[in-house]
Structure 1
Amino acid sequence: MESLPLFPLGTVLLPGVRFPLRVFEPRYVAMVRHLESTTAREFGVVAIRRGHEVGSHIPELYRIGCAAVLKNVTRAEGHLVIEAACSRRFRIESVDEGGAPYLVASVEWLDLQAEDVAVEATNGARRAFESFSRAVGAHVQGLPQDPGRLTASVLDGLGLPLPERQKVLEAGDATARLRAVTRLCHREEGLAEVLHCRAATVTPSSRLSPN
């Protein structure tokens, strides 16, 4: 087991995604300052199953999250803006709520080696999302080439709720996650055709807007 500082969020992040985040709560400011003093600069991002990002109450968390490496910190009045890159997935085995100002988890790593992504899975996800977009009369802008960012972008473009996004994270390795979003594209396309849904533009994004 390895210890990992936790940053609970009201969203799901996937491996391969870079994201900005505004940090203002004292406990997470303390976490960032601790990370800046370490070599690994790694922390865990995990989605909140029930509860809120802010406040004294400890939220109920999903067990599987994604580690992120702190890349840059910008200081502003009253808060920090951090830039981080998601890397490997983990499973939470236990959470220490009192050893530090922030949550620290004992985690088991799920991605133990570099992943070889199946080309057919990448191409299949791209085709499925393009087909979904045509079904809803949408124009697709900016699908990335990288398999990890492609998965996140397609998931963003589908606009699915958090539990569905969490299932993609939990689906397995990068190839399994691509196949998961491919199935979701087919499902949403079928629903769109039944319900006669139409949209103007679908703009996938692999970045999380600052909150």
Structure 2
Amino acid sequence: MPMNAVYRGPADLPQVIPVFPLAGALLLPRGQMPLNIFEPRYLAMIDDALTDRHRLIGMIQPDQTQGHDNDHPTLFRVGCVGRITQLAESGDGRYVLQLTGIARFRVEEELSVSTPYRQCRVTFSPYAIDFKARHGEEGVDRKAVVDVLTAFLKAKKLKADWDGINNAPNEALVNALAMMSPYGVAEKQALLEALDLKTRAEILVAITEMELAKSDDSGETPLQ
């Protein structure tokens, strides 16, 4: 999705961003994530983000291996920042919005703040390649991605928009499938932290093949 703002590199983004911890939520560069915001602290976060020209929210997963403090969970060190590109008021106190991913970040420090939501000092420098659309597409084994998607859809008895899939560039295809994948926190974090698009596609294929193998072994969702 095109944005009014243009981010060419790490220097174009602020060093301090609000973060939204959400398990299982994977945002990737140029991906679109719908959000339904209803908690007061996150409504305040959206209100404050809208007053800033960047309109940024950092999506990050709680690290559930480090305890289970629901109010203040330990965070993974890597997330992805997105810009609010669509927003609607529901009429019952909620915001329905869409984030468009810009770049991944690494948390350098969580700040002590007076806001009800959390804020972190971050760096985008390790992920400078995220600012280059379609970077590394030529390295993706598209056939392997499509083959495992076909097997997954068949096993789960699901349908797909094959015209859209066949016409999607490699980056859009891999990132959309990764974001929509029904996998757990650890798998989503691995997909997020993949070195490049080629590696992300390989991880996606490997995770899906393992899931299909487990289903096949159990006899629940045979491929044949």
TM-score (normalizing by structure 1): 0.79
Residue 82 of structure 2: aligned partner:
68
C-alpha contact (below 8 Å) 2:187/2:207 kept by paired residues: no
Residue 11 of structure 1: aligned partner:
24
Counterpart AA for 2:205 = T
Aligned-partner Cα distance in 2 for 1:26–1:166: 27
C-alpha contact (below 8 Å) 1:96/1:103 kept by paired residues: yes
Aligned-partner Cα distance in 1 for 2:96–2:136: 33
SS of match in other structure, 2:177: helix
The yes-or-no answer on 1:163 pairing with 2:163 is no
Match of 1:2 among 8, 15, 29: 15
The yes-or-no answer on 1:41 pairing with 2:64 is no
Residue 131 of structure 1: aligned partner:
151
Alignment root-mean-square deviation, CA: 2.7
C-alpha contact (below 8 Å) 1:48/1:60 kept by paired residues: yes
Change (3 A) 1:52 1:149: farther
**Gap runs ≥5 in structure 2:** 1-13
**Gap runs ≥5 in structure 1:** 201-211
Shift, 1:14, TM fit: 3.0
Change (3 A) 1:59 1:118: same
Change (3 A) 1:66 1:164: same
Task: Report the count of equivalent residues.
Answer: 196
Pick which of 114-123 and 153-162 moved more. 153-162
TM-superposition CA deviations, 1:70-92 (whole Å, max 9, x none): 11221222222222112211111
Shift, 1:192, TM fit: 2.9
Aligned-partner Cα distance in 2 for 1:148–1:120: 9
Aligned-partner Cα distance in 2 for 1:117–1:42: 26
C-alpha contact (below 8 Å) 1:45/1:68 kept by paired residues: yes
Shift, 1:101, TM fit: 2.9
The yes-or-no answer on 1:183 pairing with 2:219 is no
Q: Which has the higher strand share?
A: 1
C-alpha contact (below 8 Å) 2:85/2:100 kept by paired residues: yes
Match of 1:141 among 155, 160, 185: 160
TM-score (normalizing by structure 2): 0.75
C-alpha contact (below 8 Å) 1:11/1:48 kept by paired residues: no
Pick which of 125-134 and 23-32 moved more. 125-134
Q: Which has the higher helix share?
A: 2
